[in-house]
Structure 1
Amino acid sequence: MTKKELEHPSLDIVESKGTELSGRKIVLCVSGSVAAYKSIELARLLMRHGAKVTCVMSGASTKMIQPDYMKWATGNDVITKLTGKLEHINIADYKKSDLIIVYPATANTLGKLANGIDDTPISTVLTVGFGSKTPILMALAMHASMYENAAVKKNISFLKNKIDFITPNMIEGKAKVSEPEEVLDYVLTKFGLSSKLHGKKILITAGPTIEQIDPIRAITNQSSGKTGVSLAKELVSSGAKVTFVYGPGNEKPPKGAKIINVVTSKEMHTAVKKELKNKFDIVIMAAAISDYVPKNPSKKKIKSSNTNLTINLKKAPKIIDDIKKIQKNVLLVGFKAETNVTNIQLIKSAKRKLKDSSSDLIIANDIGTKRYKKNSQNNQIIVVDSKRSIVSGWMKKEKIAKIIKKQIELKL
């Protein structure tokens, strides 16, 4: 994606509702049906879930909606004619796109694809895509009598095992095109995103907490929030409904999740208990929450003239210990960090926490090793449950998040 494309204001919505389609390139072909106006909303829905959308418009459709509308909607130039730039090859040849959607698809467009006719930009794009085995999805729209025409039925029959169709809605004597939301659901399923986590309600905490000593000074830890943010992105990409309670970490929170920003351990505890009034399927406690907080924080700056300073700390409540008391049947995933211990010691510590918190999984790691201090973008975890322990190996935290997600899916 070029710098110019990144600056297009329409791209601000990308991944605003989820990251399920991130990295996916989708070609949206708009043919000459009165339902063409709905293609604008479909393009925006696909983008909100992460897709890059390139639009191809027929001559008839440009009489109903201006190409500038689609350019505004997608942030990309609209193809209305084929030139020496070989637009049809650039978007529909082998592995150039992940999916071609015809929305709405007329009987005319259907017939041209079924019979190898490519005399328009859309039909030529479809011919190339059909030959390169790029997946094609047609959302049909026409009068009921046209839909019942023997030739149309023959064309559908010929193509039905070669491309995908979304059945139109039969209303008032018309085979009306499916709604954009229906097409989006179909696309998500097409890409295998209806996983075990799809539709699950997940509460996840991440990042550090900060505890004030006085209005200027504070106690905190070095957590960046990267593992929690990476895991939340994976969950959103799987179609989960994620609530993300986030301390002041360095990583940008994931798009598509409900974000609740907190600072202190008390604020995090309050936010988690408030959210648990709603029913969740999974709770993941990935935050590095302060174990101790100042007993009597000063309301004024403590003078720096003192030679010695004593700060009294008190133990903060363990938020994870309250989860199963509030929601007994929730799948609970905890994190356990240690420093400079053996794997055997780390597993033993994780199993103790597993029992004390009634967790279903504990993600344990050693953050005191030399290689972690040298490069905290990587890590090694041990996934511990009541029956087994799995060591991940040393890898990037983004891959760690994928492993954790997989283990959660297996628990479901």
Structure 2
Amino acid sequence: MNKLVVKKKIKKKDHPSLDIVSSHGVELSGKKIVLCVAGSVAAYKAIELARLLMRHGADVKCVTSNAVTKLIQPEYFKWATGNEVITKLTGELEHIRLADYNQSDLIIVYPATANTLGKLANGIDDTPVSTVLTVGFGSKIPILMCLAMHASMYENSAVEKNIEFLKNKIEFLSPKMIEGKAKSPEPEDVLDFVLKKFGFSSVLKNKKVLMTAGPTIEYIDPVRIITNLSSGKTGSLLASELISAGAKVTLVYGPANEEPPVGAKIINVTTNKEMFGEIKKELKKKYDIVIMAAAASDYTPQNISKSKIKSDKESLVIRLKKAPKIIDQVKKLQKDTLLIGFKAETNLTKNALIKSAQKKMKDSGADIIIANDIGEKYQKNPNYNQVFFVDAKNITTSGWKRKEKVVKFIRKEIEKTLK
């Protein structure tokens, strides 16, 4: 008697990298995204971008230029996405499978070079990346280009012409002008853009936010002042981050070094008294959130000389008086707003810093205090910081990061509070 042999079909195991899919959200679930990586040293950030998109549910397939494979091995992109990487076009018609009509939901070029931009604008398709873009452009698949190059290239008239030609046909995410280079946007910025494109709406959308940022200066005489070293960078970056999330931001801004963010209503002030006056005026209107990020002066001269003090004296005594704590008045003016304050200390232990934040929260009636230490470690590189987000129930920390990433952490914590 013959035995019937039944072979059990073994399901192919998913790539281990796919374990992260939808671990942070399902907003991009079912979305097929093609990630074209052009030949720039910023290509290493494309790995992080792919993973971020996957964590929100996307299926990501990478296409790389030959120049990229000299910087990053294709297996790295395969590890990151769980999908085969397109490094050349074959009889399998990879460009058609990825970019023909309705084959994908979005093509992202990250980083995008001047060369890649020029090829798309002029219909040149001599690499896997440029051919996929040519097909996608023709089939009307949305294209998001994230430029990265030297500032002189970005300002080249031919590059400007190509951007002008494409600007109403594809989408651009502006580069960051840093150190003479038009650097690619951070992966988190690209993720935020993509989430908004597919309908994700931050809880901050249309929230009215009143912020202070920067230092104040207090006059001793018409030409001499007392002030502090606040650059206004964290406050300005945070305001920009909130605007990107859809908030309506009014920024009461002291005389800081940083340019105020585009998209905010800016109220320029100089002294603590002026800042307080503008806050009282603004709080006659309803605000959902008030963020006191300014390093407003704690003391101001008791008597201000109307004329320049002569410099022939051997010594000079200047009496200072306590300046009003603006944050202490906010809840008295508008009790139902979400009040967020900042607390800066120097060279404290973590526990001491948190206790200081908790005391300020109690004294001011704030809902949240963001504490940071601006002592020796911070002063070695003021572009980096670590903050503690302290509320009545929880304490979370950003870790030691660039300020651009610190403000993203703050924004996400604020969003969690509002949910």
Give TM class, smaller chain: 0.5 to 0.7
Give yes or no for contact 1:92–1:125 (8 Å, CA) kept in 2: no
**Structure 1 residue 341: Cα displacement:** 1.2
Q: Give the structure 2 partner of residue 93 of structure 1.
A: 132
- The one-character-per-residue Cα deviations of 1:78-129 (angstroms, maximum 9, x if unpaired) are x9x9966359x988935x9xxxxxxxxxxxxxxxxxxxxxxxxxx98342x4
Does residue 196 in structure 1 map to residue 203 in structure 2?
yes
Q: How does 1:123-138 map to 2 (within 5 A)?
A: 125-127=137-139, 129-130=140-141
Q: Which amino acid letter does the alignment assign opposite residue 400 of structure 2? A: W
> How far apart are the structure 1 equivalents of 2:219 and 2:269?
13
Q: Secondary structure at the match of 1:356?
A: helix
Q: Does 1:378 align with 2:390?
A: no
User: Quick one: distance in 2 between partners of 1:310 and 1:85?
Assistant: 73
SS, match of residue 382 in structure 2: coil
Paired residue total: 253
Provide the residue aligned with 2:274 in structure 1.
Answer: 267
Query: What does the per-residue CA deviation read over 1:155-186, in whole Å, with 9 as the maximum and x for residues that have no partner?
Result: xxxxxxxxxxxxxxxxxxxxxxxxxxxxxxx9
Residue aligning to 1:117: none
Q: Is the 8 A contact 2:137 2:143 kept in 1?
A: no
User: What's the offset of the Cα at 1:191?
Assistant: 4.4
Does the residue aligned with 1:337 lie in a helix, a strand or coil?
strand
Q: Distance in 2 between matches of 1:300 and 1:280?
A: 41
Residue 391 (1) aligns with residue 397 (2): yes
Show the counterpart of 2:99. Answer: none
Q: What secondary structure, in the 3-state scheme, does the structure 2 residue paired with 1:304 have?
A: coil
Per the alignment, residue 151 of structure 1 pairs with none
Query: Deviation string for 1:222-278 (max 9, x for gaps)?
Result: 000000001001000001100011001111100001001101000100011111111
**1:58: which partner in 2?**
none
In angstroms, what is the RMSD of aligned CA positions? 2.8
| AA matched with 1:397 | K
Cα deviation, residue 356, structure 1: 1.0
CA contact (8 A) 1:201 1:242 kept: yes
What code does the residue aligned with 1:235 have?
A: L
Matches of 1:364 and 1:187 in 2, distance apart? 31
The answer to whether residue 255 in structure 2 is matched with residue 248 in structure 1 is yes
Q: Distance in 2 between matches of 1:285 and 1:209?
A: 13
Is the alpha carbon distance of 1:192 and 1:250 closer, same or farther for their aligned partners in structure 2, counting shifts above 3 Å? farther
Distance 1:82 1:280 in 2: 45
CA distance in 1, matches of 2:121, 2:220: 67
Q: What are the within-5 Å matches in structure 2 for residues 291-306 of structure 1?
A: 291-306=298-313
CA contact (8 A) 2:212 2:235 kept: yes
TM-score by length of 2: 0.56
> Is the CA contact (8 Å cut-off) linking 2:124 and 2:130 kept in structure 1?
no
Normalising by structure 1, report the TM-score.
Answer: 0.57
SS of equivalent residue, structure 2 residue 328: helix
**Structure 1 CA distance, aligned partners of 2:123 and 2:199?**
36
Q: Does structure 2 retain, via aligned residues, the 8 Å contact 1:92–1:126? A: no
**CA shift in 2, pair 1:134/1:315, >3 Å:** same
How far residue 293 of structure 1 moved from its aligned partner, in angstroms, is: 0.2
* 1:361 counterpart = 2:368: yes
Please show how residues 347-358 of structure 1 align to structure 2 within 5 Å: 347-358=354-365
Match of residue 409 from structure 2: 403
Q: Equivalences for 1:43-82 in 2 at 5 Å? A: none
What code does the residue aligned with 1:374 have? K
Query: Residue in 1 aligned with 2:240?
Result: 233
For 2:214 and 2:325, how far apart are their aligned partners in 1?
A: 16
Is the CA contact 2:219–2:301 (under 8 Å) kept in the aligned structure 1? yes
